[in-house]
Structures are given as C-alpha cells and as structure tokens.
Chain A
Amino acid sequence: MSSAAIKQLLKTNRIWQASEKKRARPALSSGYQALDDMLHYSGWPQGAISELLLSANGTGELRLLAPLMAKLSQQSGYLCWINPPFQPYAPALSALGIDINKLIIINTRSDLDTIWTAQQAMNSKACSLVLTWLPKKNLSKEMRKLCLAAENSQCWGITFRHQSLAELSSPATLRMLLQPRRVSKALTNQSFNQVSIIKQPGGWSGQQVKLNLYPESVYWTAQPASLWPTLSIQSKPSNLIDRTNNSIATSNQRSFNQQPLIPSLERSVRQGKATDRMVNGDLNTQFTPKANSHYPLH
C-alpha cells in the first residue's frame, strides 16, 4: 500500500494508532465518575454506536443511561426508543430528570424495520439519542449501517443486545457488558452492577468497574418470608390454582393476543396435578414480555 493511501486512511479518523496522542473526540459524561475514569474519552462517545450487552432486560440499563438521557433531553433533539421490551414508566423517568416530552417510542414488527427506523431517526438529525433494542442475532451488517448513520448525524446511538453476543465481533465503537446487581455482604449490604468494557475507542479495553446503580437500596429493609401477605391464600391451595390460572389466561389474551395458553398447563392444572417445576417451566415459555421480544427476561 502506498503511503498516500495510508495517509488517506488515517485522515478518516477510523483507525486508531497507539503512538498517537489523544485525539479530541466528543463525548458526554456518563454521570458515573468511576465509569468515566475507565473510558479513554471520559463518557459516551458522540456520533458513534455504543453497545450494551445484557443478560436480560431490566438489569439496570436505564439507570446506567439515565444521566445521559437527562442531559440530552434538556437540549434540542428528540430521544428515540426503538422497540423497547416494556412500556417506559413516565413518573419514574421524570424523577430521573428526563424530559418525557422529548421521548418518542417506536414499535416495529420486523428486524428490517427496526434497523430502517433507527437509520431514519439518526439521519433525520432531529434525534440526539437513539436507543435500539436488537434481537439475539448476529447483525453485524446492520450494525455497520447504524454506525454510519450515527457518524453521519453525530448523535448518540445505543444498542441493547444479549450478552451471548459478546464473543462475536461488532462494529460498535464502544461495547460494554452490564451484569445484574449483586449484593456485597462485605460492604454493608451495598449492591453493585459490574460493567466490563469489551471494546472502547482511544486505547486498551478490558477494564471492569463496579457501579452502584441503585444507591437508594440501602434504605430498603428486607422482610422475612413469614411476614409476606401470602399466608391467607396458602390455606386454600386448590382455589388459588384455579384463580391464578384464570387470571393468567386473561392477562395473556390482553398482552399477547396470538399466544395461546399452553394446553398442557391448563389440563394439568384442571386435574390438580400442577407441580412447582411445571408451573415454573411453563411460565418460563410464557413470560416473554412481548410476542416478538428478542430474548426472555432470564
């Protein structure tokens, strides 16, 4: 390769050289000092895709992004949530300082639509932040499209993917794995979510940091199981199973119309043969938040 071609490549800002000093790359603080310290550009990179790898939806991913969302919602531009797994809860988001009037929630029907929508949102230059929940699939070509769109529009792009994809390569600029909350007995019952950086711009990766995403949890006081208000129904187990079964059926019909109640469960419950394992196992297949959701909660 001629030196002119190499120079041309270096100009595009896509190749990082260890010898070169930190090039200014716009980034916005994550709001967590410990995380900022680990990131070479001290925050979420602008004009790039950051990938968050999760074991399940609802492991603190919104808490991690809340300071970024709060800051961007005070500026011009919309915050787009594409294909979120559940419905966002407005009062809680407001309480985190996020202007909910800036939120646009878009539900898509296919992966192709999801990518197209994310591209449209980014390329419109009207969205400062685009959150995309992606299915548990190797979508490196599609991710590449999103990276180009984010670079073109200089917005913050965040994609949520399953942690099993951590081993696969991804064109995302920043990749991190967010692990579920663990209570540390040593540190007076404080809880931590561990964040492992798999890839990051501007230098080496592999850092790990523990973040306290729920600082209020120290005020939570656990109660022994004997105090839970369950005893009253424990006395009538047969009644309970029938009623629970009914209410599951109705809630299923409401939330995912296409999904029929699994007949085996119904039959066995009617015969009074429901066992712990069975109920648990059958619910496992049903407790997918949406019919087209990408991966089960657990």
Chain B
Amino acid sequence: MWLSIRLPQLPLEALQTESNQVSVEQAQAVIQENRILCVNQLASQQGIQVGQTITNAFALCETIQLYQRKLQQEQQLLKNVAILVYPISSSVIIEPEGIIILEVARSLKLYKGIDSLLNNVRERLDEESINYQLALADSPTAAEVLSFMPLAYSMQAISSEGQINSSKLERILSKLSVQSMLLEEKIIQQFQSVGFKNIGQLKQLPHSSFQKRFGKKALNYLLKLFNQQADPRDFFQPEETFYQSLEFNEVIHHRQGLLFPIKRLLKNLVNFLHLQQKNAQHLEWKLFDSSKSTLTFSVVFSNANISLNNYLELTQLNLENHQLKEPIEGIALTAEKLSPLDIKTQELFEQAGYFNSNSHFINKIRAKLGSNSCLQLAQVPAHLPEQASIVSVDALPISKDIENDYQPHQPTWLLETPKPIRSLHQQLVLNGKLTIISSPQKIANNWWDSSAARDYYIAEHENGSLYWIFFDQLKKLWFLQGVYG
C-alpha cells in the first residue's frame, strides 16, 4: 500500500524564508521561463492561473509579487518533508515534481490501522506549515495520480478492514480523465485526438495495439498504474551530514530579520538529528552578503541533547558578536562530525539533588566570552607541581584515584609559571620580607623531562600571607610557586 503526499504549493513554500505572514496578505506567484508556475490563494482569486504569461498576470493584478523559481530550495524542502515522514516508513520515494510516496503496508500494524497512520502523517506535516494532499493506492504510480484528487476519492477503495480493494481501486482509477495521467503532453493529446476521455477506456484496449499506437512508454505507464507491472523506484536515503542553505527573496539588513531563517534551518536540523539519533556539537553558520563575501561563525555545544531552543539561543548569542556590514542575501547551516546520541540510564530511585547537571549555561557563557573562557581542572600524575594540575577547555576525563606526589601542606593557589624572588642581603624580598617557616621538602630528578632539583619551603610574608617558595638548585635562584588561599 502506497501513500502519496503531494505539495501543491511547493515552489511558493520553498521561497518562504523571511516570514510566515507575507504569503497571506499579498498575491504571490512563482514564475519559470516567463510563465506562471504556482500561485497563492489571493492571486488565484484575482484570476491568475498557472501557465499565464507575466504580462497577463500584471494586467489582472498590479500588486502581484513574482518570484523566480528556486529549484534547489524546492528539493531541500522535499527532503525535509521526507525526513519528517521517514520514521513512519523507511521506503520513501521523492519525486522532484513535488510528490513524496511512502510504502505503508508494513507500518499498518504498528500504527493500528490506516486511520491513525494518516493522522500521524498529518500531525507531522502540520508542524511544517505546508499545504499537502494525501492519497492511497496499491502502486506508486496510482498513488501519484490519485494525489491530484481529494483523499476521500482514493479512500473509496479502502475496505472497512483498512485494506485496499483492488476492484474498487480499478474502478476509481478508470473514472479519472486521461489528462490526469502524468505522461508527456504529446501522448495525452494523442489520447484526446482519438476520442479517449478517461483512463478506463484506454485500459479496455488490447495491449499490443495500444503499444503500436501510443508507444511502449505509454503502455508501461498504464500497466504500472493498474499494478500489472513492477514499478521499481529509487528510495530516499538520508544523508550522513547536514547541509542546508536558504536564499532570501529580499536582502536582510539587521540581525532580527535573520531570526526566522535561522529558526527554520535549525528546525530542519533538529528533525534530521532526531531521525539519525545523532548529536551535533559543532554548527557552522555562513552568511552570504551582497558584496559576495561570506561571514562564517561556529557554535559549539557541550551538552548532549537535541534542543531547538538551546541551538537557537546560542546561535543568537554568537551572532551578536558579529557586525553585519552588508545586507545578507543568504544563509547556510552545516553540521558535520555528528556523534551518536548517548542515552543515559538513570536509576529509578536516584536521589535527585536540588541542582541539575545541565551544562547549558557553560555553552551560553562560551558563546559570549569565547570558547576558552570556561575551563575545567584536572589532576595528572607528575612530579613538578606546575605539571600536576592542568586546566583545559574540553571536558576532561574524570581524574580519580590518581597516585600523585601530593604532600600535605601544598597551597591551593598555584602560579602558572614560578615567579623569581629576589634575595638580597640575606633577605628574601617580594613586596615585603619573607620568612621561611618550614623545613625543606625536596622534589628532584625529573630526569626524563627536564631535570629539576628543588627545595620547597613555606614562607610567611610580613603581612601574614603564606607562600610556597622553592630554591632551584640548578639555577641557584628562589622562586614563588604558590599561595596558600
């Protein structure tokens, strides 16, 4: 059983990048090769029809807005719709003319009947704010043809048990006019010139004479339509990485205007990630401006869940750091290096603390202050104190059970590089006199790295602070290593 989803307004909807409302308030149409290809409701009320010339359209409605067709964006929208319905069935066919066909027979049991399956499809599609028409048939070709009729028409062929009644389906297909067949215009005209009005009349002809008169292609089509010939198609395979772009109809001058296209791309990304069960930790945005230069910025995430709001918030924060010099003409989003979604298992009776472990705030701070502003601390086994403690931007492996050379009485503050201390007239001087108050602790023989021989002392400053200082036996100098905080 094949379910077809036709997007009658595809060329127009693919262009809606700036805002949702515009389409309703103004007559709009998409043109291709100077002919009208697709019109919105307001334009069709003014009498503008598909196939008219631009001059005719302007004569009928002066205020109509015409747009060039953007095929690439149409294909992108189709792909997004395919991703939306992919969870229902893995056999999805994309027809470039704006029809998506799904094999649903194997999903019927899961969805407990055709009615709830159709409702599920509707729910998913309604999220996208697109117009669509559904149809059911027993072959992809028949489903394609029936999608030009209301759903109720093809539902006549569905029995009360939710199965396709092939004789009924044959009857409703036969009633359709020959014009509804998706064949070349020339062949349709041939049918009409001989006097055939509906498909049923064509079907009654013997196959051999049909082929002789109208060609092999037309016969194959007819056989596929009535499911008498195999109908192999290419199935849609979701891609491994995400790349989508939008080209604006009108340039955008301010950041606020970018919000809608950004949201739209992110929504597509979220659907894509849900489908792949993957997690994006690095998004790359590209803004194309009218002087043909590109502004690129990336957004980095540290937490592992898919959330549209998180993505949107961090993208906005990152965007605020950039100055828009020229009006923006287009935008693109890339998400590569996807990592598998880690599914956390939680204990059923886990003692929940008051504070959550959501690291989203770190992302936010990084987005504003730069990626190296937030650091984490870790302990590594090393002899020299300045090597035993490291700070790093990345989440570090949990340092546990590290056998360190930790001696008691080490300070909590460490200087990243030891600072020299003057020793003059038998006095250690660092903004004041220092007095050594402990016996030495020796750290020596770091021979495999850079040799070191140090005598560590605790010294008291004249103002009461405690310093951790050492005498470098090799350099014969005093250094400040840390401060007791």
Contact = CB atoms under 8 A, between A and B. Distances in A.
B408 A297 contact: no
B316 interface: no
B438 A57 contact: no
B485 A105 contact: no
Interface stretch (B108-116, B201-209, B238-246, B369-377): B369-377
B389 A91 contact: yes
A222 B437 contact: yes
B471 A229 contact: yes
Interface string A56-94: 111111110010000000011110000011111111111
Contacts of A220: 409, 437-439, 458
A237 to B, nearest CB: 8
Nearest to B385: A89
A145 interface: no
Interface in B373-398: 373-379, 385, 388-391, 396, 398
B376 A105 contact: yes
Nearest to A160: B485
Residue of B354, B426, B458 with highest tally of chain A CB at under 10 A:
B354
A105 B431 CA distance: 28
A233 B413 contact: no
Given A62-B412, A216-B409, A120 B365 contact: yes
Contacts of A13: none
B482 to A, nearest CB: 6
Interface stretch (B59-67, B84-92, B260-268, B417-425): B417-425
Given A120-B364, A222-B437, A233-B423, A126 B358 contact: yes
Q: Which range contains the number of A residues in contact with the other chain?
A: 35 or more
A224 to B, nearest CB: 9
A113 B377 contact: no
Interface stretch (A134-142, A164-172, A201-209, A275-283): A275-283
Interface stretch (A2-10, A30-38, A96-104): A96-104
A297 B425 CA distance: 24
B259 interface: no
A92 B438 contact: no
Contacts of A154: 354
A100 B377 CA distance: 6
A88 B412 contact: yes
Interface stretch (B139-147, B248-256, B292-300, B460-468): B460-468
Given A63-B484, A90-B377, A283-B431, A225 B426 contact: yes
B412 A89 contact: yes
Contacts of A248: 420
Contacts of A19: none
Contacts of B420: 244, 247-248, 251
A250 to B, nearest CB: 9
A62 B413 contact: yes
B431 A104 contact: no
A235 B296 CA distance: 61
A181 interface: yes
Chain A interface mostly helix, strand, loop or mixed? mixed
A230 interface: yes
B360 interface: yes
Interface string B264-296: 000000000000000000000000000000000
Given A120-B365, A223-B439, A86 B414 contact: yes
Interface in A180-212: 180-182
A75 B350 CA distance: 12
B431 A297 contact: yes
B484 A58 contact: yes
B411 to A, nearest CB: 6
Interface in A282-298: 283-284, 287, 289, 296-298
A180 B465 contact: yes
A268 to B, nearest CB: 14
Contacts of A214: 466, 484
A279 B422 contact: yes
A228 B436 contact: yes
A217 B458 CA distance: 10
Contacts of B476: 232-233
A159 to B, nearest CB: 15
Given A105-B391, A234-B426, A92 B369 contact: no
Nearest to B410: A92
Interface in A249-293: 251, 254-255, 276, 279-280, 283-284, 287, 289
A60 B484 contact: yes
A96 to B, nearest CB: 7
B241 to A, nearest CB: 30
Contacts of A120: 361, 364-365
Residue of B357, B396, B413, B467 with highest tally of chain A CB at under 10 A:
B413
Residue of B364, B425, B464, B477 with highest tally of chain A CB at under 10 A:
B464
B195 interface: no
Contacts of B399: 90, 100-101
B30 to A, nearest CB: 45
B432 interface: yes
Contacts of B448: none
B373 A76 contact: no
A233 B422 CA distance: 11
Nearest to A234: B426
A248 to B, nearest CB: 5
Interface in A106-157: 106-109, 113, 116-117, 120-121, 123-128, 154-155
B232 interface: no
A91 B443 CA distance: 15
A76 B364 CA distance: 20
Given A243-B477, A283-B431, A59 B465 contact: yes
B377 A103 contact: yes
Contacts of B426: 225-226, 228, 230, 234
B95 interface: no
Given A105-B377, A120-B361, A120-B365, A126 B355 contact: yes
A12 interface: no
Q: For the complex of A and B, list the 10 residue pairs with the smallest distance between their C-beta atoms, beginning with the closest.
A: A77-B355, A180-B464, A76-B353, A124-B361, A58-B483, A62-B485, A90-B389, A86-B413, A89-B414, A220-B438
Interface of B: 352-362, 364-365, 368-369, 373-379, 385, 388-391, 396, 398-399, 404, 406, 408-420, 422-432, 435-439, 455, 457-458, 460-461, 463-467, 471, 473, 475-478, 482-485
13 contacts: A60-B484, A75-B355, A90-B399, A91-B379, A92-B406, A104-B375, A105-B391, A106-B373, A116-B368, A123-B361, A217-B437, A255-B417, A298-B463
Given A181-B460, A255-B415, 7 more contacts: A60-B484, A75-B354, A76-B356, A92-B406, A124-B360, A221-B438, A233-B423
